[in-house]
Structure 1
Amino acid sequence: MFYYILFLLIILLWTWINRLFMPSLYSTTSDSIQPEVAVLVPLRNEEKHVPALLESLSQLSYPNLSFYFLNDGSTDQTLSLLTKHVKQLKKAHIINGETLPAGWVGKVHACHQLSQHAYGSFFLFIDADIRLNSDTIERCLHLMIEKRVGLLTGFPRFPTKTILSKILVPMQHVVVLLHLPLFVANHFSNPAFTAAHGSFMFFSKKAYEDSGGHQAVKNSLVEDVHLTRLVKKSGHKVCLANITRAVTCFMYETNQEVWNGFSKNIFPGLGRSVSLVLLITLFYISVFLVPCFLLFYGLITGTILYCLPLILTFLIRLVIDQFTKQERWTWLLMPISCLMLLVIMYYSMYLGLRKKGFEWKGRRYQ
């Protein structure tokens, strides 16, 4: 028991230290140099997000912005709502997307088309469910210029509505801060140490073009990670930042969307590696599920020491949740979150190995 508690203490210390190497976006005074930034938004059946998205973008304080919206074959009111509300913005352009060619993933093709229409020294790709604070652009540019970064990305704050989203969506922060050595990821060019969130990808135009852009990852279901690796390989620096103070993502509206989204991304995100799935299973059971059984044993036998491992696992999650501005009580769900993550990981692996394909927004991919 002593060595197991020591093991959990080391993980807690690692998590606390690791977060120190993820820079935050702090408020800053306006710089004298204000390069043009193109904000690029692909949309497919996003009618529920369009009004709030455009309201958020209209509040941005950065003066040198242009906006590009691509309607990717929407069958709802996305296009009409765009046309109605886009008047709030200056220098806004609506693009009707082309038919999806064979060999392309829908969102990747939409982003590629956006990049071909956009002008500016920087390209900010965001999803329709993103909301930006008014000074987000200034904060990002200040960090990018200061650290000479070619790509700034990060995991937003995730307000959650449904029970499955509360259980699973904040686990994205857990996975990054628990597994990725951020000092290595943010200071070295090794593409193996890479994470990104496709809902917020802020490129310098040169880094985007040097990497090959979305065309270079046209058939990827985890194009954010693969494109980030290409940015590193092309010689540009990548910064994975804590953007939760400036960027909010209303990621999934229903439990079904949560299930489909995670099952689409997990196994491809692990490189379709069965051995990695098994290794992750062993780690999560050891760190987050075994303490539940030890607590039960400790309560039965009256051995208080057996309650300590669960307290430590809760502290690991609490450190992450406080740093990433998640709801204050979701750390209590950690054992359930871990179990559900394993379940959906194995479902994602089943879909991948059996060639069932992954479904997202009415399209099916292998």
Structure 2
Amino acid sequence: MSPPATALWWLVTLFLGVQLAVLLINAATFPVLAPAEPVRRRRVSLLVPARNEAATLPETLPGLLAQGAAEVIVLDDNSTDDTLRVLQGFAAEHPQLRVLRGEPLPAGWGGKNWACYQLAGAASGELVVFTDADVFWERGALGALLAFAERHDAVYASVWPRQRTHTLFERLTVPLIDLILLGYLPYPAVRRTRDAAFSAGNGQCMLWTRSAYLQVGGHRAFRDEVLEDVRMGQRAKGKGLKVALALGGELLSTRMYRSAEETVAGFSKNIVAAHGGRPQLVASLLLNTLAYTLAWPLSLWHPLWLVPAAMGAFQRALTCFKTRRSPLEAFLQPLMAFPLWRVGWRALLSRTYTWKGRTYGGAS
């Protein structure tokens, strides 16, 4: 290979090699929720922000109500569909369910952040658990979460549910969440260092003691953040609070998006913020395209490119194995660049994003 081609090969191989090393560590150490009973009995509030979730709540709310929490509070965030009617129907049959009607969104707040802030104010539990309306809680999931937090002596714990994907576009894009988590965040560093960079959060499931939630400033301190869950987890670590992260395994799962358009809209709303800016996003798109997609045709030109190509496929297989998905999805990894560029292009072209019928300013 020419010197420029050799330099690119080394760049891609090192990029994949570092991720693969972290992934191998996490395959052995990253916790997965498992059935268990907590030792301490504590009052728990399950808190759910809901905006235009009339189609989803009948599928997920029964599982939440079966967890045995002292209260389940769902806030209807000014939905334009039948969310409120669906919630009122459930509340008539389940006394532990409280339905709140959200206040109008103030200037300078993100919709979900505002909804969660209101929910926290209404909760009476010693522990508050924020979860999304599209998360499926299997029987015993809350007990497993509480036992996990106790075992790690954590005042903040966050869980990444197993991703349910039904369409090809979902399978190509949504599992990237797991690949990023397991390929970039070594769990031993989460547990053994005080560096805030070695922490994260997932708004689909966040458990806080009330005192820890107030100590990081609650959602008010992150009112306009599109990655508020990640920033809250990092601040908790930075303040010296004990943090624990886990995968949902068979107990927590979610189907985040139900169409290609919804998937693109969902990912494009925070992909710029996640990369720290547009130039960084462009660099990431180019590097990922070279590593996961172009490495395969380049191997026809020079066989050394089979090394990064195979590393990328193995990465996907190992991630799927850890997250209880089919390792056969590794065969989809070379196609990843196509939906990724669709998401990235949308984010790069727009200075705003629209989500759940609301428009916000985008990251620069």
TM-score scaled to structure 2, two decimals? 0.89
Range with greater deviation from structure 2 (201-210 or 8-17): 8-17
- For the 8 Å contact 1:151–1:207, the answer to whether it is kept is yes
Aligned residues: 353
Deviations 1:227-286 (A, max 9, x none): 212222333122221223211111011211101110001101223252x32442354244
Structure 2: gaps (5+ residues): none
Residue 53 of structure 1 is matched in structure 2 by 60
- For the 8 Å contact 1:39–1:67, the answer to whether it is kept is yes
Shift of 1:193: 2.6
Amino acid at match of 1:23: P
Residue 112 of structure 1 is matched in structure 2 by 117
Q: Distance in 2 between matches of 1:338 and 1:189?
A: 35
Amino acid at match of 1:147: H
Deviations 1:4-47 (A, max 9, x none): 5975566534421233331121222x344210110000111100
Residue 209 of structure 2 is matched in structure 1 by 204
Q: Distance in 1 between matches of 2:349 and 2:85?
A: 39
Shift of 1:88: 4.6
User: What is the aligned-residue RMSD (CA, Å)?
Assistant: 2.3
Residue 281 of structure 1 is matched in structure 2 by 285
Deviations 1:146-203 (A, max 9, x none): 2111211122111112332121001110111112233223332322233222111111
Amino acid at match of 2:277: R
Q: Which of residues 351, 355, 361 is equivalent to 2:356? A: 361
Amino acid at match of 1:212: G
Secondary structure of the structure 1 residue equivalent to 2:163: coil
Q: Distance in 1 between matches of 2:168 and 2:249?
A: 21
Secondary structure of the structure 2 residue equivalent to 1:67: strand
* 1:314-325 equivalent positions in 2, closer than 5 A: 314-325=313-324
Q: Distance in 2 between matches of 1:19 and 1:186?
A: 15
Secondary structure of the structure 1 residue equivalent to 2:194: coil
Residue 171 of structure 2 is matched in structure 1 by 166
Q: Which of residues 11, 25, 28 is equivalent to 1:17? A: 25
Residue 267 of structure 1 is matched in structure 2 by 272
- For the 8 Å contact 1:157–1:243, the answer to whether it is kept is yes
- For the 8 Å contact 1:19–1:182, the answer to whether it is kept is no
Deviations 1:285-316 (A, max 9, x none): 44313421234336xxxx6x654543332111
Residue 336 of structure 2 is matched in structure 1 by 337
Secondary structure of the structure 2 residue equivalent to 1:245: coil
Q: Which of residues 229, 242, 252 is equivalent to 2:247? A: 242
Shift of 1:83: 0.8
Aligned residues with identical type, % of pairs: 28
2:139 matches 1:134: yes
Range with greater deviation from structure 2 (170-179 or 50-59): 50-59
TM-score scaled to structure 1, two decimals? 0.89
Amino acid at match of 1:45: N
- For the 8 Å contact 1:34–1:64, the answer to whether it is kept is no
Q: Which of residues 61, 66, 71 is equivalent to 2:71? A: 66
Range with greater deviation from structure 2 (73-82 or 159-168): 159-168
Secondary structure of the structure 2 residue equivalent to 1:329: helix
Residues 77, 6 of structure 1: alpha-carbon distance in 2 compared, 3 angstrom cutoff: closer
